[in-house]
Amino acid sequence: MPPSRSRCPSSAPNRSERAVARASLCITRGGVPYCRQVRAILARNHISYRILDATTPKVQALMIRRFGDTAVPRTVIGGVLVEGVDEARILQLCHG
C-alpha cells in the first residue's frame, strides 16, 4: 500500500501555513490511540504529512533498519525524529 497524504481540510493555506516547508512523515499503526493523537496534532496545525503504515513488512523493515524497532508513533520532520506524542516538539520543528 503506498503512503497516503493527509491534510487538514480547510481553505487555502495562509502565509504561516505555507512557511512549513519541512518534510513530515508520520509512521503509525491503525487503532493505536497515540498514533491518532499525533495525526490530530498534525491536522489541527495544518501540517502536511505522509503516513507510513507500520503494519506492512516493508515499513517494518525500514523501521528496524533506521530505528532499531517498530515502536509507534514516530514522526520525522526535516530529518529529525519525534518519538511518541510531543506536540511542542512537533510545532517547534515545523514552525521554529
Tell me which residue range forms the domain holding 89.
21-95
Residue predicted with more confidence, 96 or 3: 96
Asked whether residue 7 is assigned to any structural domain, the reply reads no
Give a yes or no: residue 16 inside a domain.
Answer: no
Q: What is the pLDDT of residue 95?
A: 84
More confident position, 71 or 96:
71
List, in order, residues 6 or more apart from 79 with CB less than 8 Å away.
23
83 located within any domain: yes
pLDDT, tens only, 4-39: 444 433 334 444 444 444 668 999 999 999 999 999
Residue-wise pLDDT for 50-89, tens only, equals: 999 999 999 999 999 999 999 999 999 999 999 999 999 9
List Cα–Cα distances, 10 to 19, 23, 89, 92, in angstroms.
16, 20, 24, 22
Instruction: Enumerate the β-bridge partners of residue 32.
Output: none
CA distance linking residue 12 with residue 32, whole number of Å = 30
Domain tally, the chain: 1
